[in-house]
Amino acid sequence: MIELPNTEDNVKLVQDFIYETRKRIADGTDITFTKKAKDELDELMLEYDITEEDIEYTILNLTPENYYRGIDPSGEADFNVCAFRALVGKDKVEIYLKYGLEEEGLQILVFSNHIPDFEMNQPFKN
């Protein structure tokens, strides 16, 4: 995934991605998890008691400061995908959270939600 440089236009691009996510959720769109993301969530649930509701709450509270990488088209070019460094659950566990917004529809699809394998920089964090 690409890392957008910290410019006013790029911060707005990420903010628009976040706003569109919130709008879809407010309009009743459910968050869907890929098999991989569901398996990762199962691990988070076992180790940290993190639920789908915790992931949704985290997504709803993202800001451009959480931005890590993206916004890229998915492999099929049917989703715009963005990755964030986020703190989730009551213990504020750091996770790598990558999800996409369907280009020609309303779906919100989580591709990854796991403990990061490496340190994640946040290029828009002040």
Residue 32 and residue 111: Cα distance in Å, rounded? 9
The arithmetic mean of pLDDT across residues 69-77, rounded, is 82
Is the pTM of the predicted complex or chain greater than 0.85?
yes
Q: For the residues 92-107, what does the mean pLDDT come to?
A: 95
The pLDDT of residue 47: 95
Half-sphere CA count of 74, side-chain side, radius 13 A = 17
Rounded Cα distance between 114 and 42, Å, is 10
Q: What is the pLDDT of residues 31-58, one digit of tens each?
A: 999 999 999 999 999 999 999 999 999 9
Tokens 């990558």: give the residue.
98
pLDDT for residue 54? 98
pLDDT at 121 over 80: yes
